[in-house]
Amino acid sequence: MNPRGPGLLSLVPFVSVDHMMRIVWDIGVERMLVELAAYIEEDFRRWELFDKTPRIAAHSAEGVIELMPTSDGATYGFKYVNGHPKNAAAGRQTVTAFGVLSHVDSGYPMLISEMTILTALRTAAMSALAARALAPPGARTMAIVGNGAQCEFQAVAFKALAGVEAVRLYDVDPRATRKAAANLKGSGLDIAACGSSEEAILGAQIVTTCTADKRNATILTDNMIGPGVHLNAIGGDCPGKTELHRDILLRSDIFVEYAPQTRIEGEIQQLDAAHPVTELWQVLTGEAPGRRDARQITLFDGVGFAIEDFSALRYIRDQLDRTGHFVHLDLLADPDDPRDLYGMLLRHRPR
């Protein structure tokens, strides 16, 4: 029995996995990806307002658990996320996440949300946003090497945001490729399942790598990448995990989200710390050029950054009235007298 009942200040909107899926289908996958990308671009254009720090990571032999915080001075956000590649063998997700938005002036949270699905959407939206600025004009064919949980999101995002019409798939596990091809049936994309990474990248102007193994790997070798290609390398997300041969990096103009974090976790951990990279916000604001000529190899070394999660949470917060898919959690103690927390406890004592 609760003789007092929750006050309005104690109620925090919560978006569950079921709510998130309902939001996605109410809005539409492609439309939501486009709208997410717009929120990310808006926040990247006000980059200098944000607190920025590399994510706070707890590494183990099995994987990593991370916190990704940021604030624009009015709103604070963070994401809790794990990365455990071995989970897949046990039937679990490699990556799971949830996030929180809070009022800076009071510290009270305004939203708690699942972010496993939302992270997949914002990662794809971020990739396609970068490709709009960096890929060769008229690029219509993309190869995706690594056909796990992120694959289909990437394909649909590049269709919606970057004009991709054909996707060539390859994974070391043919079951993953069959899964992705089946899921993308009816997407409006021309899908080809390939038997090797070399076959997949034939004729592709955009190449996405999104593998899950936590190790230094060489998914693409230098001889596989010709001039004019845009590389979207998003599988590297922790120290000791890479996908591209170092020589590819040396031939590429490299674009990152937040250089101090990417130098720890991205493909550029293979390079000297002084190797030049461009942060993508500089391209979006016109402070730095993106693609300059037809033969240039551009590389988006995407590891995910807290501002993108902030943007995604901000977007979801703005959809609550539009969709109604959330519940209120009685999360915060809200005594009538803020100094009398114990009295609130006493009044709740069972009779």
Helices (H), 61-102: none
Q: What pLDDT does residue 214 have?
A: 54
Q: Between 1.10.10.60, 1.20.1730.10, 3.40.140.10, 3.40.50.720, what CATH number should domain 127-304 receive?
A: 3.40.50.720
Residues forming CATH 3.30.1780.10 domain(s) in the chain = 8-117+307-347
Q: What is the gyration radius of the CA atoms in the chain, in angstroms?
A: 22
Looking at residue 2, its pLDDT comes to 39
Q: How far apart are CA 102 and CA 145, in angstroms?
A: 37
Q: What is the CATH number of domain 8-117+307-347?
A: 3.30.1780.10
Instruction: Provide the whole-model pTM.
Output: 0.93
Domain with CATH 3.40.50.720 in the chain: 127-304
d(CA 82, CA 105): 29
Residue-level pLDDT at 66 = 94
What pLDDT does 5 receive? 45
pLDDT for the residue numbered 62: 87
Q: What is the pLDDT of residue 1?
A: 30
pLDDT for 213: 62
Give the neighbor-by-neighbor strand order of the sheet with 190-193.
190-193, 166-170, 141-145, 206-209, 230-233, 298-301, 253-256, 278-279
Classify residue 11 as exposed, middle or buried by CB count within 10 Å of its CB (0-12, 13-18, 19+). Answer: middle
From the candidates 237, 318, 321, 340, give the one annotated as an active-site residue.
Answer: 237
**For the chain, which ranges sit under pLDDT 70?**
1-9, 212-217, 236-238
Q: What single-letter DSSP state applies at residue 348?
A: T
Q: What pLDDT is stored for residue 4 in this prediction?
A: 41
Which pLDDT score, from 0 to 100, does residue 89 have?
87
Residues forming a β-bridge with 329: 12
Annotated active-site residue 72? The verdict is no
CA–CA distance, 313 with 157 (Å, rounded to integer): 18
CA distance 208 to 188: 19
